[in-house]
Structure 1
């Protein structure tokens, strides 16, 4: 299950990067979404709306897949099997050793 979600996440990520790069920005970007549109298929405004909606859908899918993968791997930490969100176990305290009794002072000889 995790492998399928990871592959799907990778595909959504690559598609999201591609769609963002295609969009025309103020700096020009890759400029593919220019005023010509997608050839004679759509107008410039229609292309911008399509790319904006596609970006929103892919971003939503990216976030949902990220959350799903995080929930599936919640307790899978390499080398340990613990959840970082769980409360830490109580710390066992050991009592300090008792101080040895003081030795009486040696008696002085007359």
Structure 2
């Protein structure tokens, strides 16, 4: 049931995007420069406007339905509560890794003889 509602929800969203993009622009974004006609008189409801309202209402209904279904399927515990219930961590070993030998990775100091073998310093 959830998959069916999800597919209908996706189709409604695509349809709503398409219908909104197909509508005629009335110019003057956010009500600017429209001559005051948008606020002073009620415009006639066009077929595209009615379809937009129907798709928007159906979209909201499917959104609420999906929210209710997912709330029913969710467990009562928070995901943070389940962190402590996970598998026990692996036993830590006391063996420390051997220190890395990094002296051979560094370039020789400037002015040093490049033919001499690299010998670790006894610092």
**1:20 CA displacement:** 0.1
Aligned residue number for residue 7 of structure 1:
7
CA distance in 1, matches of 2:77, 2:73: 8
Aligned residue number for residue 82 of structure 1:
76
Q: Are 1:13 and 1:62, in contact at CA under 8 Å, matched by a contact in 2?
A: yes
- The unaligned stretches of length 5 or more in structure 2 are 29-42, 79-123
CA distance in 1, matches of 2:4, 2:58: 14
CA distance in 2, matches of 1:25, 1:65: 28
3-state SS of 2:4 partner:
helix
Q: Are 1:75 and 1:82, in contact at CA under 8 Å, matched by a contact in 2?
A: no
Structure 1 residues 19 and 9, CA, compared in 2 at 3 Å: closer, same or farther?
same
3-state SS of 2:65 partner:
helix
CA distance in 2, matches of 1:22, 1:52: 11
CA distance in 1, matches of 2:24, 2:47: 12
1:59 aligns with 2:56: yes
1:71 aligns with 2:68: yes
**1:53 CA displacement:** 0.1
Structure with the greater alpha carbon radius of gyration: 2
TM-score by length of 2: 0.46
User: Any idea what the Cα deviations from partners look like across 1:34-54, whole Å, max 9, x if unmatched?
Assistant: xxxxxxxxxxx99x7110000
Aligned residues: 64
Q: Are 1:76 and 1:82, in contact at CA under 8 Å, matched by a contact in 2?
A: no
Could you list the runs of 4 or more consecutive aligned residues of structure 1 that deviate by over 6 angstroms after TM superposition?
none
- The unaligned stretches of length 5 or more in structure 1 are 29-44, 85-110
The structure with more helix, counted as a fraction of residues: 2
